[in-house]
Amino acid sequence: MAVSMNLRTIAAWAALAAAAACQANNSIAPGDLVGYYNLSARDGDRVPCCVRTDSQGNLVTVERGELEIEANGKYSFAIYQVLTAGSTLTEEPLVLSSGRWSLDGRTLTLVDSGGLGSVSSALMNGAVAFQIQGHEYEFKRIVPVVVGQYGWLTFDGGLPTCCVSDSAGTRVSVIGGELDIASGTPSGTYQMWLVKRYDSSSGSPMEADVKYASGAYVWDGQTLTLEGAGLTPADSGTSGRAVGSFTGGLLTILTQNHKYQFIRLIQMP
């Protein structure tokens, strides 16, 4: 990752961020919207769909579409249809729009001063749906919102402390950690580090940064799936995979029969 952080500062950062998170409502941060979306459905039908015959006898199919939400407050989208005349296929724009976007709680509004006007959509698990020219068009995000650097917040719902005794009788506690999720569309790589404290009767306590896991992740807009050596999920017996959920800047991961919660400290572009 381009950004690195001393793991021993994570706990302090996480505590401050957690206090703010406890006061958060169901609104979403504007930065979490930025990215690319693909047209997934029109009026509930998955694209390509909605075949009709035009006045010239050509078959017309709603084929595809893209929506881009930019960090500078601008947006643009295009919806395309394909005309089939015999063996000839011609793609042409059905709807083109660009302008400014705004966010109010969990409602995204697009304002096109050039003709489309204003359309709004509630945010639905990585998807938005707009009423445009008498039809509902749904777009689903293809760039993950989970990218960033996270500080370890809780273990099994408790404070950042847990302990076991190893074969030598040394008491081992997890006192902090970091999770780095790199960019990808819609997948990429991740690294998870833990700060462990070792207390033995024969010497002074020691702390060490331990690389817990690394590998590939996939974000589908609702579920984060981590794959890599050392992972065993709580919800299945398949080694090498863990699952998580992301909401309000908090990332919850089920792995090795435990629940880890991380809070995002830095959001990557």
CATH class of 34-141: mainly beta
Using an 8 Å Cβ cutoff, are 40 and 139 in contact? yes
Q: What is the pLDDT of residues 24-75, one digit of tens each?
A: 445 667 767 877 899 999 999 999 999 999 999 999 999 999 998 887 899 9
The answer, yes or no, to whether residue 113 has pLDDT greater than 80, is: yes
pLDDT exceeding 90 applies to what percent of the chain?
32
The answer, yes or no, to whether residue 80 has pLDDT greater than 50, is: yes
Q: What is the pLDDT of residues 170-200, one digit of tens each?
A: 888 888 889 998 866 556 888 888 888 888 8
CA–CA distance, 109 with 97 (Å, rounded to integer) = 13
Q: Residue ranges per domain, the chain?
A: 7-26+145-264, 34-141
Weakest mean pLDDT among 89-93, 141-145, 240-244 = 141-145
The answer, yes or no, to whether residue 161 has pLDDT greater than 70, is: no
Q: What is the pLDDT of residue 82?
A: 95
CA–CA distance, 39 with 18 (Å, rounded to integer) = 35
pLDDT exceeding 70 applies to what percent of the chain?
77
Residue 211's Cβ-side half-sphere holds a number of Cα atoms within 13 Å equal to: 8
Q: What is the pLDDT of residue 23?
A: 40
Distances (CA, A) of 39 to 53, 62, 94, 130, 176: 22, 10, 13, 11, 41
